[in-house]
Amino acid sequence: MGIDELYPPDRLIAAQRATAAAGLDALLLTPGSDLRYLTGYDAHAGERLTCLVLPAEGEPTLVVPRLERPAAEASPAPATGVRIVDHVDGTDPYPLVVAALDGPVAAVGLADRMWAEQVLGLRAALPDAAQRLAGEVLRELRIRKSPAEVAALAEAGAAIDEVHLRMGEWLRPGRTEAEVATDIAAAIRAVGHVTVDFVIVAAGPNGASPHHGTSDRPIGVGEPVVVDIGGTMASGYRSDCTRTYVAGGSAPADFLDYYAVLCDAQRAAVAAVRPGITGAAADDAARAPIAGAGYGAAFLHRTGHGIGLDGHEEPYLVAGNDRPLEAGMAFSIEPGIYLAGRHGARIEDIVVCTTDGVQRLNTTPTELIAL
């Protein structure tokens, strides 16, 4: 897929229309996924101000530090129709934002994860403008992926699958979680990711902590090991996939019992995905079999999260989310069972809701993998 397909100019037009419809005069977006979504520019986040000024009407302007102007000009941003202006070190960049607005404004939408010092700087520069979250506008544009975005996510999914298929090269008894993670991280980069976002290698009792990370604890014979890995591709789109392994020997009998339940629950949740089902109902599809087998209290987190330019974004598959799924929405299906002090397991695939069902973007087996 071409960069122009991933970051088309009409996104800016759609965002301007949505900004006006939301009662905002402009969006002000500092480095992050929203800025990249609209312009393709993967801007450096730092103390020097970079800010896309997107008025509801008029010309979009990208304010950048002068030393970063070459990077901005080399990005897809100019092809989207964005005008670039720069500021030099030692000068105040906020008047450039005000000038780009070209008139008084009553309300602006700020990037949801803007640094506090920039929020306060914009408040001082625009004292009469109410500040709201740009996510109110952009969430609805980003939540349904285009065919090019789905293709980018599929590329990321295939790449991380390659890493899981090589796990037998690294994961074995006697090696520490951290040693295994180092090898995995190198492989994540080798298959095309430009950054490694996370590597969880959680063996034995550490597997009972969903966000364990790694440690210097050696992996024991027959221990279940949860491996949750992901990264960002050059496209900006992300991978995230979890498989559970057994490192040599035989897994504990109680683990084998609940892993079979987990496997059935994950498949049931994937099969339940279709347009019209709510996020809460998809969550329940995974949760019901686990609760029915007596492990409900050991399923500690939501069933899934959206994915795209962010690792976690809308939609969320969680109790209370009554928004129906729609074609183009991409998210994880990742139920888990965690028994404190003993072991745990999780199975995670990225899927896309299609017009008539679901497409799995991770295609490696979900059965327990003995190495």
295-326 residue pLDDT tens: 999 999 999 999 999 999 999 999 999 999 99
Q: How confident is the model at residue 291 (pLDDT cuts 50, 70, 90)?
A: very high
Work out the mean pLDDT of the chain and round it to a whole number: 97
Q: Average of pLDDT values for 18-23? A: 98
**1: pLDDT confidence band, cut at 50, 70 and 90?**
low
Contact 285, 269 (CB under 8 A): yes
Helix axes 135-142, 10-21, angle to 10 degrees: 130
Strand partners, 203: 225
Quickly list DSSP for 246-274.
EESS---HHHHHHHHHHHHHHHHHHHH--
- Name the pLDDT band for 164 (thresholds 50, 70, 90): very high
The average pLDDT across 246-250 equals 89
Provide, rounded to the nearest whole percent, the portion of the chain with pLDDT above 90: 96
Contact 314, 279 (CB under 8 A): no
Q: Tokens standing for 290?
A: 């686990």
Contact predicate 84/64, CB 8 Å = yes
- Answer whether residue 206 shows pLDDT above 90: yes
Residue 28, beta-bridge partner list? 53, 110
Determine which of 101-105, 179-183, 187-191, 199-203 has the lowest per-residue pLDDT on average. 101-105
Element at 38 (helix H, strand E): helix 33-39
Q: Return the structure tokens found at 234.
A: 């050059």
Q: How confident is the model at residue 334 (pLDDT cuts 50, 70, 90)?
A: very high
The two structure tokens encoding residue 2: 């071409």
Tell me what the mean pLDDT of segment 342-352 comes to. Answer: 98
- The predicted pLDDT at position 284 comes to 98
b/e for 233-267, b at 16 or more Cβ within 10 A?
A: bebbbbbbbbbbbbbbeebbeebeebbebbbebbb
Looking at 3.40.50.150, 3.40.630.10, 3.40.50.2020, 3.90.230.10, the CATH number of the domain 147-370 comes to 3.90.230.10
**Is the predicted pLDDT of residue 204 greater than 90, yes or no?**
yes
Q: Check residue 354 and give its pLDDT.
A: 98
| CA–CA dist 77, 72 (Å, integer) | 7
Fold of 3-142: Creatine Amidinohydrolase; Chain A, domain 1 (3.40.350)
What is the Rg, in whole angstroms, of the alpha carbon atoms belonging to the chain?
Answer: 23
Cβ neighbours, 10 Å, residue 90? 5
What is the average per-residue pLDDT within 166-193? 98
Q: Are 200 and 346 in contact (CB under 8 A)?
A: no
Task: Collect contacts of 254-258 with beta carbons under 8 A, ≥24 apart.
Answer: 254/339, 254/342, 255/224, 255/342, 255/343, 255/345, 256/368, 258/293, 258/295, 258/298, 258/337, 258/339, 258/345
Q: What is the pLDDT of residue 103?
A: 87
> What's the pLDDT score for residue 249?
84
Show Cβ contacts of residue 227 under 8 Å, excluding neighbours closer than 6 positions. Answer: 164, 167, 171, 184, 200, 201, 202, 242, 243, 244, 245
Q: What backbone torsions phi and psi does residue 89 show, to the nearest 5 degrees?
A: -55, 140
- Percentage of the residues of the chain whose pLDDT score is greater than 70: 99
DSSP state of 56: S
pLDDT value for 2: 64
Q: Please name which of 53, 122, 48, 43 lies closest in space to residue 91, comparing C-alpha atoms.
A: 48
Residue 289 pLDDT? 98
- Check whether 4 has a pLDDT greater than 80: no
How far is the C-alpha of 28 from the C-alpha of 77, rounded, in Å? 15
Question: What residue ranges do the domains of the chain occupy?
Answer: 3-142, 147-370
The pLDDT tens digits of the residues spanning 35-57 come to: 999 999 999 999 999 999 999 99
Q: How far is CA 111 from the centre of its chain?
A: 16
